A and B are shown apart, each in its own frame.
Chain A
Amino acid sequence: MKIENRKSLVYLMLIVAISTILTSCKKDNNDVTKPSDINEGELITTVQFRIVDTDSPYVEHIFSYRDVDGLGGNAPVIDTIKLDTGKIYSVTLLFLDESKNPIDTISNEVLAESKDHLVIYETPSTSLQITINDFDTNNPALPLGLLSSWTTSAVANTTLKVTLKHQPGIKNGDPTRGETDVEVTLPVSIK
């Protein structure tokens, strides 16, 4: 080997050495054949109404809107909320993640961040009047909506739309603000 060639070889090796030091290649450590669990992350699968007739406070009626496999996939299972005429009900609203074991009660987090959340109840019927009973930590306090009183009057077949709004830093009582975390509509039968 000529001296020149040997010299070039040394330089070539030098380049390779320097470039290896300068270049710390980033690496993907995941295994392509084992995709990560699709249930990772937070999901609200269920909106549950726990309804107590104030005349007989020891009986709790449970109705829910459930979409356990999340968005897409199987269609949600929707209960009809059955109420009696001329009653006053005390209602607790729960948001659950039933895809987790144990079931994750997301409404506890909503309560903890009450100043950024708002539950809205909408029904086209005049037979059902809903009053929100709980308030957030804003000053002055604004309605939250996890606890409510429902007053029924005449017989009706109607619907109830429940919306959970996330209003981080922008909550002012205006229901149109923010991003929708939950928006469900259930049939209501008042007999």
Chain B
Amino acid sequence: MRRIFFLLLLYIFSTSFLFAQADCHYTLKIKVVDEQHKTVLPGAVVRITNTNKINETDVNGIATFESLCSDSYEVIISFLSYHTISQKIELQSNKTITFELSPSVKNIANVTILSERTSVQSTMSKIELKGIDLEKTRGLSLADALKEIPGVTTLQTGPTISKPIIQGMHSNRILIINNGIRQEGQQWGAEHAPEIDAFIANKLTVIKGAGSIKYGSDAIGGVILVEPNPLTDSSGIHGELNLVGISNGKQGVGSGILEGKLKKIPLSWRVQGTFKKAGNIKTPDYYLANSGFEEKNFSWATQYASKKFKTELFYSQFNTDIGVFKGAHIGNLTDLEKAFNASTPFYTSGFDYKIDRPKQHVEHELFKSKSDYVFNEKSKLSLVLARQYNLRDEFDKDLPLNDSLAALNKPELHYEITTYTTDATYQHSFTDKLTSSIGFNSIQQVNTYEGRAFIPNFINNNYALYSIHQYKLEKIMFDFGVRYDYEYLKIYQWKSNSVLYSPERTFTNLSFNTGFDWDINKKLSYHLNVGTAFRAPSVNELYGSGLHHGEGKFIYSNENMKPEKAKAIITGIELQNFKRISGHLDFYYKQMDGYIFLKPTFPATLSIRGAFPSFQYEQRDAYFTGMDAWLHYEITEHLKSTHKINIVRAYNTNDNTYLPYIPSDRFENGLKYEFKETKHFKESSVDLHVLYVAKQTRVEANSDYKEAPNAYFLLNADAGTSIHIGKQHYEFGMSINNILNTTYREYMNAFRYFTDEPGRSVVLRFKYHF
């Protein structure tokens, strides 16, 4: 830890030696709308505290402030019969910010998460990716876009399948909340990417903490919120079109949104769709055979909002076919050793869009209804109901030898999982300072399989009650939340002697979370959060024994495992133009009782196909600790440096060994030049950054088939501008990834045993708003 502190100090000092007076020519426009109706609010009073400037919103609901300096300001907005809100704003360019006022009912949905608000208040550490930072990631998968956020890395299975890792944890220890709904698919698998179209999101938020009181105490790693824009508040038809071209894989992406509101009735609507197609990815030296994919997504939403009642319907569909690199779909131990020792994979190819076996076909469908009812100035009820259906087909490399079986071309593995979720919350403000809410969650899930037996059929139901309290003083906010979980699991599994094995399991737990957020001054705030989390062992850990063909592993589950329990402390500071530094700095320590992980076992499992490397689920006490930072330093008005640090340490305290498959240390440093805004050209910038990823040296000797890959440097660049002509605007962007065409392998990629990472790629982005 001492070394981490030292590094950090070095960082801050090395980047805080320049001072100069910024000029004061910025314009800030504040738009105020009603949270329920999304209608503009003329006559609202907008105050900027440290300048004593006061202005009223005009007929369009906009208050304009001119000649502001590059500084951070506190904006306070008040309007009769609405709640006053205040928020800090960091001004470095001309900005228009929309605020939503709620009609005298405080909106604290929970401690951890407050969606649909410009200012989210919670004592957990939270980082958002939106605006220009999000636009830079357009065309990437959800997990790859999230990688922009420090503390988040990815677990890869080749170049096209990636899952987010938060502070060293992934899969069942992360919750993804897609438009308010807990994403439920086959998320246990390392090679099962989240089934979400990243274009739906207007904002991605990562909440680093242990357990979420509102969404589930199993979020030991954290929560990811995927949030679309609120439905439009102005009548007429609007939309946007995104086009992205990526040179590596010759990938084309098109995504569009069309939205509007009826004139006379408060009814808003939106339709959205995305199409992606990519062919074989190229490493610096060779193509990866069968690494293309095709994705087709579609969603629609509609909302009816009256004074006291608001209801929203949302439907989305995600469909993808992903080719799995042929050279990584290996057989037994002998094949594995041969593949490891091959300098280039046995299967290489030229460029092709064709998706062949081995492949995955995944469908995900979500249908959601959300209703809010405002009783009076102090109370509000909301009810969210959703149904999710997830289908996953996995096709082995080879068709069956038997011709009649082969002709069917069936997937060797087929899962269907249907999930119904309910979330009811009642919120009440006792005083101006104290707001409380109580809520109920339920998850009812049914899974079935066809083909090879691995995950059995099961019914999994979870019921939870929670209560959250928030006490807010002028400079400090406290929160406290408590949650009770009851989980029921019933399995339907054939034993080898054709006897149906059908055990029933129940797990219960009480978890809590508390913390405070202290605004020391306008530029510096400090937060501390402590809490407990709990995760019942999942079906794959308890009952998923068998050959995992995609990974060539034989896995032994362990039905005697207990729930995993965590105690966590997370603390950090947030800077807003503090000595020209802005950003986040977080430290965490998570103590895990009965951490569940896969451990290699010997001897390998013998079969007619040879020996297979074998793994057994084990439970050990462990800790996770580390630091993430995302700091911006304003060197001059136009030139900024960006620094990201990501450090995780994970240790098994029972056996005194390092935990395997933990991301290595990474540091990213960048320089960004922002051009002066003109009438037609806005947000123009060029940006060059260097990513350094250290070698993972914290692995036990002889615990892996191949040594962890070496450290690597990657040089990447971005450039972008936005052209405004009248009401329309066009955004252009370009990125070059891996400029030097560096050959490297990443420890957190399951295919690091077989192949290099992708080589240089040029990305062109175009966006049109109307």
Contact = CB atoms under 8 A, between A and B. Distances in A.
Interface stretch (A17-25, A52-60, A83-91, A138-146): A17-25
Contact of A180 (B332, B400, B418, B606): B332
A71 B329 contact: no
A19 B457 CA distance: 31
Contacts of B449: 35-36
A6 interface: no
Contact of B493 (A35, A104, A110): A35
B608 A35 contact: no
Contacts, number: 157
Contacts of A170: 346-347
B494 A38 contact: yes
A74 interface: yes
A187 interface: no
Contacts of B387: 25
Contacts of B459: 32
Interface in A1-47: 7-8, 11-12, 15, 18-19, 22-23, 25-28, 30-38, 40-42, 44-47
B302 A28 contact: no
B401 A113 contact: yes
A179 B398 contact: yes
A15 B403 contact: no
B554 A71 contact: yes
Contacts of B332: 180, 183
A55 to B, nearest CB: 32
A112 B401 CA distance: 9
A181 to B, nearest CB: 6
Contacts of A73: 496
Contacts of B329: 179
Interface residues of B, number: 64
A67 B607 CA distance: 7
A32 B448 contact: yes
B446 A32 contact: yes
A18 B391 CA distance: 25
Contacts of A176: 338
Contact of B402 (A35, A36, A106): A106
Contacts of B452: 38, 40-41
Given A19-B313, A33-B492, A42 B389 contact: no
A65 interface: yes
B500 interface: yes
Contact of B610 (A12, A104, A177, A183): A183
A179 B403 contact: no
B365 interface: yes
Contacts of A71: 546-547, 554, 605, 607-609, 612
B299 to A, nearest CB: 10
A155 interface: no
B401 A110 contact: yes
A11 B262 CA distance: 11
B458 A32 contact: yes
A101 to B, nearest CB: 13
Contact of B450 (A8, A18, A30, A32): A30
Given A45-B608, A179-B329, A27 B389 contact: yes
Interface residues of A, number: 58
A15 B609 contact: no
Contacts of B448: 28, 30-32, 35-36
Interface in A87-134: 104, 106, 109-110, 112-113
Most buried by B among A11, A12, A35: A35
A44 B365 contact: no
Nearest to A184: B608
Contacts of B402: 42, 104, 106, 109
A75 B603 CA distance: 13
B335 interface: yes
A11 B607 CA distance: 63
B401 A179 contact: no
A182 interface: yes
A32 B492 contact: yes
B163 to A, nearest CB: 23
B451 A40 contact: yes
Nearest to A31: B448
Given A26-B391, A35-B448, A72 B330 contact: no
A41 B554 contact: no
B725 interface: no
B296 to A, nearest CB: 14
Contacts of A23: 315, 367
Given A34-B492, A71-B612, A15 B315 contact: no
B400 A42 contact: yes
A34 B453 CA distance: 13
A72 B346 CA distance: 29
A173 interface: no
B391 A72 contact: no
A75 B450 contact: no
Nearest to A106: B401
A75 B329 CA distance: 25
Given A35-B457, A184-B608, A28 B494 contact: no
A28 B416 contact: yes
A54 to B, nearest CB: 29
Given A11-B304, A71-B547, A180-B334, A28 B492 contact: no
A8 B403 CA distance: 60
A79 interface: no
A26 B608 CA distance: 39
A35 B456 contact: yes
Contacts of B403: 109, 112
Contacts of B458: 32
Interface string A57-81: 0000000010101111111100000
Contacts of B457: 30, 32-35
A19 B367 CA distance: 10
Contacts of A184: 608, 610
A180 B610 contact: yes
A65 B609 CA distance: 11
B675 interface: no
B276 interface: no
Interface string B389-431: 1010000011011110100000010001110000000000000
Interface of A: 7-8, 11-12, 15, 18-19, 22-23, 25-28, 30-38, 40-42, 44-47, 65, 67, 69-76, 104, 106, 109-110, 112-113, 163, 166, 168, 170, 176-184
Chain A to chain B: the 3 pairs with minimum beta-carbon distance, closest first: A183-B610, A109-B401, A30-B448
20 contacts: A18-B302, A19-B313, A26-B363, A27-B389, A28-B418, A28-B446, A34-B457, A35-B494, A37-B494, A38-B494, A41-B405, A42-B405, A44-B609, A67-B607, A71-B546, A75-B606, A179-B329, A180-B609, A183-B334, A184-B608
Interface of B: 265, 267, 300, 302, 304, 306, 311, 313, 315, 329-332, 334-335, 338, 346-347, 363, 365, 367, 387, 389, 391, 397-398, 400-403, 405, 412, 416-418, 446-453, 456-459, 492-494, 496, 500, 545-547, 554, 605-612
